[in-house]
Chain A
Amino acid sequence: MKKYLQVALGIFTSIGGFLEVGAIATTAQAGAQFGFRLAWVLLLGTICVIFLVEMSGRLSAVSKHTLQDAMRERFGAGFFLVSTIPGMVVDWLVLASEIGGVALALQLVTGIGYQWWAFPVAIAAWLLMWKGNLGLVENGTALLGLVALSFAVAAVRLHPPLHDLAAGLVPSFPRSDGASYWFLAVSILGALISPYLFFFYSSGAIEDQWDENHIGSNRFTAIVGMSFGAVLAFGVLTAAAMVFYPRGIQVDRYEQVALMLTEALGRPGLYLFAGALGITCFGACLEVALGRAYVLAQGFGWNYTLNSPPADSARFSLVYTGMIGSAAVLMALGIDPLTLTVFSMALTAVTLPLVTLPFILLMNDRAYMGEYRNGWIGNVAVVGISLLASLIALVAIPLQLLGG
């Protein structure tokens, strides 16, 4: 049963952290504009995320510290503040984007504008965190999130040319429109490699009381959970490449994205798209709000748990309440969710080195990891990811600002 719960944490992390509004938007845009040619970025991002999620789970299981807690202890309060303040601003914007994703899903089904749904969505997410426990949050979302499999089903039903898909897994340079190609590449990586994902996963491992016996299943969970998210993201890219690319349709609005599922699945496709968008973004709302509440609680030494009444961890509860309430205001003002998503992804990319670089040091620290320190493969992967993260940060912002 415990192993099942552990895999549920991985699937939930994957649904909320891997496939969410950012990943759906960027992979759909990539498929629409470049066909299968950016599939390699998705593959690279998946490998990166598997490594990082496995490491954050192993860190918690061995050291009994969450990632943020260990960073604060190892690098001091100054570093904690430097990394937390920008991270908090970015997470707030990401949270608003995710609320926007759920609100848009409701708009597609009801026809009522997304801004009207911002507060009902925020209240539903808050109630689940306030009244529920971690098991309910993890398992409920993981189970409902299976509706996102419709992306994979749609991709299969569209009969993609496997040769082209396989060719897309090999990195290539664009024949034209290089700025858009590389901007989309870094946006996909920024959307997939989200720091809140590692914070949440690491905190969940502590809440679920993992120890050294969980290391094998942690690896399995990271691979299965993130691969699940990757299959769904490949489904989005493939469906967009099959439906939009040949017709010359760019994805400028979320309403267009739904057309790829209605093309493959007919009328139910619209409801499946709305369900998948809504549930994955709802999962991400919970993950971002909780992830940030965990970070602050661990950094300042407050009580934190979802498994007892909110009064037992009042400041922790206040943080996720404040985060979700204020993010809903941003969306209720009518800011375009797609624009906000792209902007918040670029900012996410900027903050990546603040997480990945100290991660290298922690994962090699004998005091924390003992015999479970990183091997050379893990180190090379994390160094590679960190360099990639820096590159993302350097490239994404100017491209973003100048509309590349």
Chain B
Amino acid sequence: MVRRVPLFGRLVLIGAALVTGCTKSPEAKTEETAMTLASWEATARLLEEQRARGAVPERFVRQVLRAAAEAREEATAKRRAAGAR
């Protein structure tokens, strides 16, 4: 006899599947950090191109570079923490 799973139970199962399916492995986290760093490198290159064309004011350049430095710092700290585990 097949026992039907009640609706609440099904929802819990779906939730559990989502939760376990979406948890990232350390490798995935490292890869994500690398992608973030590469993304900010590419951002800096694009910014330099635009700066050379005079398409962006210096004040804005400073803001983006500051954001890039903060993001890089954060990503590096994450990478270090992942490596320590």
Show the binding face of A for B, using Cβ within 8 Å.
Answer: 107-108, 111, 179, 243, 247-250, 252-253, 255-256, 258-259, 262-263, 266-267, 269-270, 394-395, 398-399, 402-404
Contact = CB atoms under 8 A, between A and B. Distances in A.
Interface residues on B, range: 20 to 34
Given A108-B63, A259-B50, A262-B50, A267 B56 contact: yes
B19 interface: yes
A267 B52 CA distance: 12
Contact of A259 (B40, B47, B57, B71): B47
Lowest 5 CB-CB distances: which A-B pairs, in order?
A250-B39, A398-B18, A402-B22, A404-B22, A266-B55
B22 A248 contact: no
20 contacts: A111-B62, A179-B21, A243-B46, A248-B35, A248-B38, A249-B42, A252-B71, A255-B63, A255-B64, A258-B60, A259-B43, A259-B50, A259-B64, A266-B53, A266-B54, A269-B55, A394-B14, A395-B18, A402-B19, A402-B23
Nearest to A32: B39
Contacts of B62: 111
B15 interface: yes
Given A111-B63, A399-B18, A267 B57 contact: yes
| Main SS class of interface, B | helix
A347 B35 CA distance: 27
Interface string B32-48: 00011011101101110
| Main SS class of interface, A | helix
B67 A255 contact: yes
A263 B50 contact: yes
A249 B43 contact: yes
B14 A259 contact: no
A253 B57 CA distance: 18
Contact of A250 (B36, B46, B54, B56): B36
